[in-house]
Structure formats: C-alpha cells, structure tokens
C-alpha cells in the first residue's frame, strides 16, 4: 500500500484539485498494487490498465481545464455484473463465456460521466448467488484479513467479495457492488469496509446482470462513510431505461456526513437477538447502542414480528425470479454454447456446462416453486409474507422511529472451503439473516465496521432506514465510524 493508494476518495479529490497529485500517478499506483496483490487475493477477474491510463489522462486534461467532475480521476473497481462496453462482463459465470457487451450500464455510465477511472472487473459469486465468493467460476477471493497470528485463508463474504476485498486491500479507491439479500453489507462487514444498499429504485438496474429483479439493487463499497456517500451520489439517478427507477432527485449525500444525530430515534428490534448468537455480536450491538446514545440519539425497543420468516420467503422469491431471469442463457445469443443433437439438447447441455452447482440449485428451486400446482403454496404465500415483513417496518417508522440498528452478520469471516457450511446449503444462507429483511422490504441499509472479534477480525453493524432516507443512514453511520475508528488489514500478500 503506497501513500497514494492509502488516500480515501475525499482525500484524493482534494489533492487532485490542488494539483498535488495527478490522476495518472494515482491510477499507476493502483495498477501496481493490483499487479502485486491480485495473484494472492484474486479480487479482479479482468484488469484494464490501458483503459484506466487513457481515462486518467483524460481526467488530468479536464482538471487542467477546470472541468473536473465529482469523481474526476478516482480509480474504481467494477463488479463483474455491470455491463461495461467492450470489457469482460460475465457475472463470474462460465455460461457468459467471452461476453463483451456493446453497451454500458447506467450506473457505470454515471460514474464515467463524473470522471471516474475504471481499473477492471471484480470477482463475485456466480450471478451474485452466494455469501462467500466461492461460487465464482474464477475461483474464490481471499479476504485481506486473517486471524491474529493465523495464516488460514478466509472468505471475504459474498456476493460482492471481490469488491469488498479490493477496497479493503487498497486495490481501488472504491467499488461498485450489488445487493439482493445482503451481497453488499455482509462482505463489507467481513472486510472492515462500508457498504450501502440504497432503497429499491434509487439506482438504475439497466445493464446489470439480473438475479432477482424485485430485490436487486446497486450500491457502493467504500473505505469510509463519506466515500460511500460520494459514490452513491454519482451511481444513483433517475433512468427511463429502468421502469422501477424512482422519479426523485438525488440528494447530495455527503452533506449528511458529520451532521448530528441528536434527538434521532433509533429502534432496536427484539427479533434480531437470535438463539445461539455469539456473545461478541451482542456486545458489539450494545456498544453501537451506547455510541448512538452518547451522540444524543434516543434508543427505543421495537418489534418486527415477521423477521424470522424473511429468509425462508427470500428463498422462494429470489430463486423464482432467478429461474425466470436466467432462462435467457440458452447458447443462442451470447456466451457459451455446447452443441447437441437438437436444439433442446443444446440448451440442456449448454446450461449444464455453463451453470455452477449453486446456480443450478436455485434455478431448480425456482422452477419447482413456480411449476403447475405449487405456485399458490410457495410463491404466492411468500409474496404475502413479504407484505407482512414490509408492514412490520412501516409500523415502527410510523411510530416515529428514524432508523433501526442491528448486527450486520451473525459471525466474522469464516474459512475458505468450510466443511460444515458446504455440507448444508441452508447454513450458508443463514449468513444473510440480518440483511435479507431489508431487501424484502425494499429499504436502504448500511453496514459500518464497528470493531474486531476475539481473533482480530472485523465485525459490522447495520443501520436500516426509511424508504429514500439514505441521508439518515450516512449521519448515524458516521457516528459509529467516529467512535469505532477505521480498520485496515495487515499486508501479508
């Protein structure tokens, strides 16, 4: 980690505008850091140094002319599910083998329009289905964090594992990610970084490889709360190309960072106190409550009675939508094709070879729950439960609660190829127990690092907000960050 790659986005922005550093120097420093680290961490699946240097050169020219954008010259990593014109875009699946889109996603187009520089595409769980980044066709990402005195490789979480690892190891200044059930917040918590999933409809989904369309939402992973606010401002927009993009102006989120939480009502949901939850998670939660109270917030006990049903309902709704979305991978229009004796045989062989085990499992579950005779019992019931989950949140917000504080994950990062987790798919799914409710209700949620566990591994807290009230999350998240401090891994790679 050089001096240049140590700078946050806000710090780099200051030095670039004062012409103390150039975008080209900053980009070169990141490319060198990636060259040095990626063999060990596997965070990037495609590095684009030529494109990065060309974009940095253009940024330097704009800065010289006084035409700098909000992210001018800031080098970013992009999760592999964002369509980037002419560049590797496979959602880390074999079925999209060789796919290079002829178009750019709205979110990345927004970033480039603001002057950001693309370093490359980041590793992820295949089609964002996973909580450990181990389902990627390109192999697992290693967490830059290791237990104190240990040398065991840990997962960075998932599905945005490459994004979280790259931000944590300073292989980019910030990264795009996406969150369907916790895929931004869980990896952020596992790597000591900040991740925010905004309200459903805040960022355009156009040009993002779809997993579960009613749950998918773009968001950033960053080194601190301020950087997350800066990135979200650029990523979010109103977009005619996404019918679920909400027609509301994007606020300047950065102005919320540093604002007081005095008088803010923070809800503590009883149902998030799970049986068998490690004591240190409970301790971390109590610490977070104390920090917010010290800063002048009012703490209130609340109840979200349908919490325990969010994860099972998610494992009907998300696979159902996935089975429909992934029907497009048929070996005809893009990606992999495995020849067969007729067209059906070609479809079946292509999909058998192109999808990994977890993706097949979810497509199978989704196909089953949508199949004739089972739709009402599974899908319709799950969508009704979803209404109840959302109603729980509406009730507490109507009663005056401004935000809700919970743990982000039930544990710290676990080992790569953990036997116990691989023997039972549901055990892996439980990683998202605290995050998935937020997707089911379409709400914004932020994960902020709040401390280290007994092994010296990062743990995070989650704040959940009202629809389109990301500003409150940045305010309260900043209070936690100020109290907890920042967390950077020791370089071992």
Partner 1 sequence: MSVDLATVKRVAKLARIAVTDEEAAKMEGELNTILGFVEQLDEVDVSGVEPMTSVMPMEMKKRADVVTDGGKADDITANAPESVDNFFLVPKVVE
Judged by CB under 8 A, the chain residues 412 through 471 that form the site for partner 1 are 424-426, 429, 440-442, 467
Nearest in space to 493 (alpha carbons), one of 171, 200, 251, 190: 171
Asked about 159 being catalytic, the answer comes back as yes
Stretch that binds partner 1, among 15-23, 105-113, 169-177, 347-355 (CB under 8 A): 347-355
- CA gap 57, 383 in Å, rounded: 50
250 binds partner 1 (CB under 8 A): no
Query: Which window, 112-120, 180-188, 355-363, 471-479, contacts partner 1 (CB under 8 A)?
Result: 355-363
Q: Which is nearer to partner 1, 192 or 444 (CB)?
A: 444
Site residues for partner 1, 361-420, by CB under 8 A, read 361, 363-365, 367-368, 371, 374, 377-378, 380-388, 390
Q: Which of 161, 335, 451, 458 binds partner 1 (CB under 8 A)?
A: 335
Best CA proximity match to 457, nearest among 493, 490, 482? 490
Q: How far is the CB of 264 from partner 1 (least distance, A)?
A: 23
Nearest to 459 by CA among 145, 236, 27: 145
> What is the closest distance, in whole angstroms, from the C-beta atom of residue 297 to partner 1 in the complex?
27
* Residue 337 within binding range of partner 1, rule CB under 8 A: yes
d(CA 186, CA 111): 24
Among positions 262-321, residues that touch partner 1 (CB under 8 A) are 306, 308-309, 312-313, 315-316
CB burial class (10 A; 0-12, 13-18, 19+) of residue 430?
middle
Instruction: Pick the piece of the chain touching partner 1 (CB under 8 A) from 166-174, 220-228, 267-275, 351-359.
Output: 351-359
How big is the CA angle at 122 (ends 116 and 126), to the nearest 5 degrees? Answer: 140
Cα–Cα distance measured from residue 4 to residue 27, given in angstroms and rounded to the nearest whole number: 9
Q: Give whichever of 290 and 377 is closer to partner 1, judged by the CB atom.
A: 377
Active-site residue (options: 59, 79, 121, 466) = 79
Tokens encoding 102: 């002829």
Question: Which window, 5-13, 53-61, 223-231, 360-368, contacts partner 1 (CB under 8 A)?
Answer: 360-368
Among 121, 146, 185, 351, which residue sits at the site for partner 1 (rule: CB under 8 A)?
351
Nearer of residues 190 and 315 to partner 1, judged by Cβ: 315
Site size with partner 1, rule: CB under 8 A? 77
482 contacts partner 1 (rule: CB under 8 A): no
Q: How many C-beta atoms surround the C-beta of residue 289 within 10 A?
A: 16
**131 carries an active-site annotation:** no
488-to-219, 302, 485 alpha-carbon distances in Å: 21, 34, 10
Minimum gap (Å) between residue 345 Cβ and partner 1 = 8
> What span, in angstroms and rounded, lies between the C-alpha atoms of 343 and 339?
9
Query: Considering 59, 131, 159, 160, which one is annotated as catalytic?
Result: 159
Catalytic: which of 183, 245, 256, 323? 183
The residue within the footprint of partner 1, chosen from 156, 182, 195, 201 (CB under 8 A), is 201
Nearer to partner 1, 9 or 441 (CB): 441
Q: Which is nearer to partner 1, 3 or 372 (CB)?
A: 372
DSSP 165: H
Q: Which residue, 427, 429, 410, is CA-closest to 419?
A: 427
Task: Give Dmax over CA atoms of the chain in angstroms.
Answer: 70
Candidates 98, 263, 276, 485; binder of partner 1 (CB under 8 A) is: 98
Q: Is residue 183 annotated as a catalytic residue, yes or no?
A: yes
Looking at beta carbons only, is 15 or 94 nearer to partner 1?
Answer: 94
Binding mask 209-248 for partner 1 (x = CB under 8 A): -----xx------------------------x--xxxxx-
Report in angstroms how near the CB of residue 229 gets to partner 1 at its nearest: 21
Q: Residue 15 or 349: which CB sits closer to partner 1? A: 349
26-45 residues in contact with partner 1 (CB under 8 A) are: none
CA dihedral 131, 134, 135, 136 (to 10 degrees): 110
Which neighbouring-strand residues pair with 298? 265
The H-assigned helical ranges of 85-207 are 106-113, 161-168, 185-191
User: 23-41 and 49-64 helices cross at what angle (nearest 10)?
Assistant: 160
Q: CB count, 10 Å around CB of 371?
A: 12
| Ramachandran assignment for 258, one of left (phi > 0), alpha (psi -120 to 50 degrees), beta (any other) | left
Q: Is the CB of 244 or the CB of 287 nearer to partner 1?
A: 244
Enumerate the active-site residues.
Answer: 79, 159, 183
């Amino acid at each position: 980690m050089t001096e240049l790659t140590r700078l946050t986005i806000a710090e780099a922005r200051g030095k670039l505008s004062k012409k103390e550093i150039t975008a080209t120097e900053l980009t070169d420093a990141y490319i060198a850091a990636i060259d040095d680290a990626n063999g060990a961490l596997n965070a990037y699946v495609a590095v684009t140094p030529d494109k990065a240097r060309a974009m940095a050169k253009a940024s330097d020219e704009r800065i010289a002319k006084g035409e700098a954008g909000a992210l001018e010259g800031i080098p970013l990593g992009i999760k592999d599910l964002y369509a980037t014109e002419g560049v590797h875009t496979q959602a880390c699946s074999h079925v999209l083998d060789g796919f290079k889109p002829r178009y750019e996603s709205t979110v990345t187009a927004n970033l480039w329009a603001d002057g950001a520089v693309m370093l490359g595409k980041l590793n992820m769980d295949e089609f964002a289905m996973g909580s450990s980044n181990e389902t990627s066709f390109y192999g697992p990402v290693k967490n830059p964090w290791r237990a104190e005195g240990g040398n065991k490789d840990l997962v960075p979480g998932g599905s945005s594992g490459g994004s979280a690892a790259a931000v944590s190891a300073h292989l980019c200044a910030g990264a795009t990610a996406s969150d369907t059930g916790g895929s931004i917040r869980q990896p952020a918590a596992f790597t000591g970084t900040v991740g925010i999933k905004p309200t459903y409809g805040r960022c355009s989904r156009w040009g993002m490889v779809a997993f579960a369309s009613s749950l998918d939402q773009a968001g950033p992973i960053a080194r601190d709360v301020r950087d997350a606010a800066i990135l979200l401002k650029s990523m979010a927009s109103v977009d005619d190309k996404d019918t679920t993009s909400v027609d509301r102006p994007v606020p300047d989120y950065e102005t919320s960072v540093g604002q007081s939480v005095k008088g803010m009502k923070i809800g503590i949901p009883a149902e998030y106190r799970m049986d068998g939850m490690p004591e240190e998670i409970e301790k971390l939660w109590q610490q977070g409550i104390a920090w917010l109270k010290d800063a002048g917030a009012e703490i209130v006990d609340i109840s979200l009675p349908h919490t325990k049903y969010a994860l099972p309902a998610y494992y009907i709704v998300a696979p159902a939508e996935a089975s429909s979305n992934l029907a497009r991978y048929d070996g005809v229009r893009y990606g992999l094709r495995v020849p067969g004796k007729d067209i059906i045989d070609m479809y079946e062989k292509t999909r058998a070879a192109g999808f990994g085990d977890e993706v097949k499992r979810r497509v199978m579950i989704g196909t089953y729950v949508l199949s004739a005779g089972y739709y009402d019992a599974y899908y319709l019931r799950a969508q009704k439960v979803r209404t109840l989950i959302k109603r729980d949140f509406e009730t507490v917000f109507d009663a005056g609660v401004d935000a809700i504080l919970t743990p982000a994950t039930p544990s710290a990062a676990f080992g790569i190829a953990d036997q116990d987790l691989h023997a039972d798919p549901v055990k892996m799914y439980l990683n998202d127990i605290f995050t998935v409710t937020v997707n089911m209700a379409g709400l914004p949620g932020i994960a902020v690092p709040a401390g280290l566990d007994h092994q010296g591994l990062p743990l995070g807290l989650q704040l959940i907000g009202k629809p389109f009230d990301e500003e409150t999350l940045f305010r309260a998240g900043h209070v936690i960050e100020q109290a907890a401090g920042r967390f950077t891994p020791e370089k071992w790679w």
